[in-house]
Every structure is written in structure tokens, then in C-alpha cells.
Amino acid sequence: MTVTPTMKLPGGKDAKPENTRAAGGRESNLILGKARTDRPSREETEAAIRTLLLWAGDDPDREGLIDTPARVARAYEEFFAGYDADPVEMLNRTFEEVEGYDEMIVLKDIRLESHCEHHMVPIIGKAHIAYLPKNRVVGISKLARVVDAYAKRFQVQEKMTAQIANSIEDVLQPRGVAVVIEAQHQCMTTRGVHKTGVTMVTSRMLGAFRHDPLTRREFLTIIGNPASSVGA
């Protein structure tokens, strides 16, 4: 079976990763992790959450809901902490004394928690990252933190996949980068078409992972080849 670096979308639509990159450009503002500074106050935010409770048809002044706007605001600080994270700074802390190690480095099954930017509901899944170092390697926890830096924002899976790969490529300048994300979208499972058990798989392959089928296959074998189980 040949696994090509395309993204399998629900419904069988294929999208080339290049499209994601072209559509969003390099998104240098996002890669730098800069959040807007003109955010509303905590008070305004809690008032907006209270409005949502009213709009759903409930009474925000009843005992069970009275502290909910404050709790939701605190939860949002966690869900969207990525806007205050700087992936470039994380990846810049590299070390070079690796005795010439130049083989593939893979971090697989990284828990991923994000939110769909269309419905503001969770996207839950896992990310797999590989790179072929040129001179510098980065601590593996940094790769996991880069996933969080992009996941903890309002996202679409295709864009998030490209952003993670692009930032690793830009900062580490390795011989190749591969990112695969497998995730379930609650906007598909709890509303709309209500299809459970559907996993969306996206990938972005750069450098050797794009040009060398053996390198790509080695990576896909290590992570359990998710692309082959979806619509292939």
C-alpha cells in the first residue's frame, strides 16, 4: 500500500497539505504566538457567558449556575492558553551535543485537546511528530508543548497540523519533519450529523518525509500507520 502525504477528510475529500499552507500563508503572527492585546475584561466575559445561559433557557441566578460564568472563564484560560504561548521560543532551546545522532526522532501518541473554530466544541485526539535532525535536537517535552501551543486555540485540524510542522521546520531546520494528527471532532459527534467513531487524519510531510518514500514509510510504521486505516 502506498501512503501519500494527503489528508483524508470525512466524505472522502482529499486535500493536499500545500493548500493549507497556501490558504493561510505562513501565518507568521501565529507561529510567533502573539495574542491580541485588546481583550475584553473578565467582567465583560462573565457577562457574555451569563447571556449564553439565559439564551439556552436557564436561570443564571439559581444556585447551581451562580458561579458558572466565573468557572467557564477560568476553564477558557486553560483551553486557550496557546494564545499566550510562544512555540518559537520553546523550540529555540536546543542542544547540539548528540554524538552525531542523525536518525529519526519520533514522539508518538501525544494527547491533543483543541477546540473547533466553527463550533467552539472540543477536538480530541493525538499527534505524532517526527524529525530528522541536522545538527540540533530539541528536548522531547518541547515538542509536546508545541502541540499544546497550537492546539489550545480555536482551530481547524488541517491548519493546526501545518502550523506544528512549519514551526519545527522553521526553527530547527532539520532534514525533514512529519506531523500526523488523528482526532475526533465533537461538532460531528454531538451535533450535526451525529456520527461517532469517526476519526479525521491529517498529515504534513516536509523534506525527507515528503521526498523519500522509505523515510515516510518508516515513520508511518512506527506510529502504526493511521492513514492506511482511514479510507485508503
In terms of CB distance, is 39 or 191 closer to Zn ion? 191
Distance CA 28, CA 34 (A): 9
In terms of CB distance, is 149 or 200 closer to Zn ion? 200
In terms of CB distance, is 119 or 136 closer to Zn ion? 119
To the query of whether residue 117 is one of the catalytic residues in this protein, the response is yes
To the query of whether residue 185 is one of the catalytic residues in this protein, the response is yes
Q: Which of 115, 157, 158, 163 is catalytic?
A: 157
- Which residue, chain included where needed, has cell 504566538? 33
Write down the least CB distance from residue 119 to Zn ion, Å.
4
DSSP E strands, 99-167: 105-116, 122-132, 137-138, 154-155
To the query of whether residue 116 is one of the catalytic residues in this protein, the response is yes
- The CB-nearest residue to Zn ion is 187
Write down the least CB distance from residue 118 to Zn ion, Å.
4
Q: Which of 18, 43, 118, 173 is catalytic?
A: 118
In terms of CB distance, is 113 or 212 closer to Zn ion? 113
In terms of CB distance, is 13 or 63 closer to Zn ion? 13
Write down the least CB distance from residue 184 to Zn ion, Å.
11
To the query of whether residue 46 is one of the catalytic residues in this protein, the response is no
To the query of whether residue 89 is one of the catalytic residues in this protein, the response is no
Write down the least CB distance from residue 211 to Zn ion, Å.
34
What's the grid cell of residue 42?
Answer: 473578565
DSSP result, 181-232: EEEEEHHHHSSTT---S--EEEEEEEEHHHH-HHHHHHHHHHHT-GGGGS--
Half-sphere exposure of 90 (CA within 13 A, CB side): 23
Please state the length of the chain. Answer: 232
Q: Which of 115, 116, 128, 155 is catalytic?
A: 116
30 neighbors 163 (Cβ within 8 angstroms): yes
Q: Which of 46, 115, 182, 185 is catalytic?
A: 185
Write down the least CB distance from residue 187 to Zn ion, Å.
3
How many helices and strands in the chain, by DSSP H and E? 10, 9
Name the residues that contact Zn ion, by CB under 5 A: 116, 118-119, 187
What's the grid cell of residue 27?
Answer: 501565518
- 3-class SS of residue 93: coil
100: left (phi > 0), else alpha (psi -120 to 50), else beta?
left
Q: Which of 77, 113, 119, 184 is catalytic?
A: 119
- Residues annotated as catalytic (active site), given as ranges: 116-119, 157, 185, 187
